[in-house]
Structure 1
Amino acid sequence: MARILITGSSGGLGLMAGQSLIETGHDVVLHARTTDRDPGIADVVVGDVGSMAGIASVAEQAARFGPFDAVVHNVALGYQERRRVVTVDGFAQVFAVNVLAPYLLTALMPRPERLVYLSSGMHLGVAPDLDDLNWERRRWNGSQAYAESKFWDVVLAFGLARRWPDVPVNAVDPGWVATRMGGRGAPDDLTQGHVTQVRLALGEIPGTGGYLYHEEPSRTNPAVHDTDLQDAFLARCAELTGREL
């Protein structure tokens, strides 16, 4: 039996992954932004990872249930944010939730046996810009901000896989599926959307530093393999959060 934490799992793919793992006898800890979003099917940690304090609270709560065999960093905001919302810490909300939350949770929590980071095929069209991670210079574009956040999630996964060779770290493209984030018209197979992260969390897919779609290696943006970019990005996250890995 594996013990697995899944962030952003009060609904959508995170909840589907949790339900699948629970049904096969595994010990799952879910994460909800607020208590009223608790699915009521497993232990849950509660906190808004849009703030640094909320992230620290989630990490502290999770530590009580650990150690974990795997952590699946599924939490994310979607691509339909029409304006740049700023968090209490001064970050663009999409960047805070989609990028800084998985980074800081990884930094604050004891290292699990396996790590999984959720990305998106939208990362393929990104030209990386470390100088404006927070969208302060550019005119806001919600779709582009989301795509960039998913690009940095792959960079985070690949940078960690290189730094922590004893921990399998992988990124996943679940596809464009009909969740609340993806919308009703999403064309990909919803039943396949969570399978890859479940299998990676259980160690059923070997290897590290991979990017997978429906259980198979998939094409990535070439820039995510740039080790100098990986190191610069991790250093920037450490600067922004005040916590090094």
Structure 2
Amino acid sequence: MALILVTGASTGLGLAAAIELTADGHEVVVHARTPDRLAGDDAARWKGSVFGDLSDLEATRDVARQANEFGRFDAVIHNAGAIRSPDAVPVNIVAPYVLTALMRKPGRLIYLSSSMHHGGSVDLDRLVSVTATYSDTKLWVTALSQAVAHRWPDTTSHAVDPGWVPTRMGGASAPNDLREGHLTQTWLATDPDVVPATGGYWHHRRTQSPHPSATDVDFQNRLLAALARRTGIRLD
């Protein structure tokens, strides 16, 4: 049995992953923006819950504080996402960075990326402007997952492209399978025999080649420095 945190778990892929993990016997802590988003029968499923708006830096700090009250997680799935500015940068890259830096190091980290990260920019000035796109943020979070894999030998770290799935974000006409969209995350969070053990970029439980900049150590270092300047928080 593993203790697992899933961010953005009130709907969509996050909720599906949380339900799957709970059904498999794991203890799941879910994150939502506000308590009312977890109202109803689902609330009784969970080990616990944490709340906060991940587009707000101080609220994200508080989510980390709440999460740490549960102790050290076996896995954290950074599922929460936003597709449009101005929320895309704080939710898709700043929040995963802050939570990674401030929470106790878990056994496993899984970050939600996208195939659209291949169109992302390495211009990190966009971190502090309104010009960053969804693709930019997904390139950056993929690079973050690689940086953590290199820096933290006792924590495995992966990025996942869940596909274009019919969630609220993806839209009803999205062509990919919703179930396949969350199974890679739950597998990476719990399976003892994942190969490669860390540093993978995955789509439907198969590794893919990420954007070359995501695996570039110089770019990873510049990204971490830019995130530290923006947040005032350093990643060990």
Normalising by structure 2, we get a TM-score of 0.93
Query: Do the aligned residues in 2 keep the contact of 1:119 with 1:171 (CA within 8 Å)?
Result: yes
- Which of 94, 107, 116 is the equivalent residue of 2:110? 116
For structure 1, the residue ranges without an aligned partner over 5 or more in a row are: 86-92, 139-143
- Which of 157, 161, 179 is the equivalent residue of 1:191? 179
Query: Is 1:216 equivalent to 2:206 in the alignment?
Result: yes
Query: Is 1:171 equivalent to 2:165 in the alignment?
Result: no
RMSD of equivalent CA atoms: 1.2
Post-superposition offset of 1:14: 0.5
Normalising by structure 1, we get a TM-score of 0.90
Name the residue aligned to 1:90.
Answer: none
- Which of 49, 64, 70 is the equivalent residue of 1:65? 70
What amino acid does structure 1 have at the position aligned with 2:3? R
Post-superposition offset of 1:180: 0.4
- Which of 123, 148, 165 is the equivalent residue of 1:160? 148
Cα distance between partner residues in 2 of 1:165 and 1:57: 27
Post-superposition offset of 1:125: 1.5
Query: Do the aligned residues in 1 keep the contact of 2:54 with 2:91 (CA within 8 Å)?
Result: yes
Post-superposition offset of 1:224: 1.0
**Hey, which bits of structure 1, 4+ residues long, moved more than 4 A?**
none
Q: What does 1:135-150 align with in structure 2 at a 5 Å threshold? A: 135-136=129-130, 138=131, 145-150=133-138
Q: Percent same amino acid at aligned positions?
A: 47
What amino acid does structure 1 have at the position aligned with 2:57? M
Number of residue pairs matched?
228
Name the residue aligned to 1:236.
Answer: 226
Post-superposition offset of 1:219: 2.5
Name the residue aligned to 1:134.
Answer: 128
Post-superposition offset of 1:167: 1.3
Name the residue aligned to 1:23.
Answer: 23
For structure 2, the residue ranges without an aligned partner over 5 or more in a row are: none
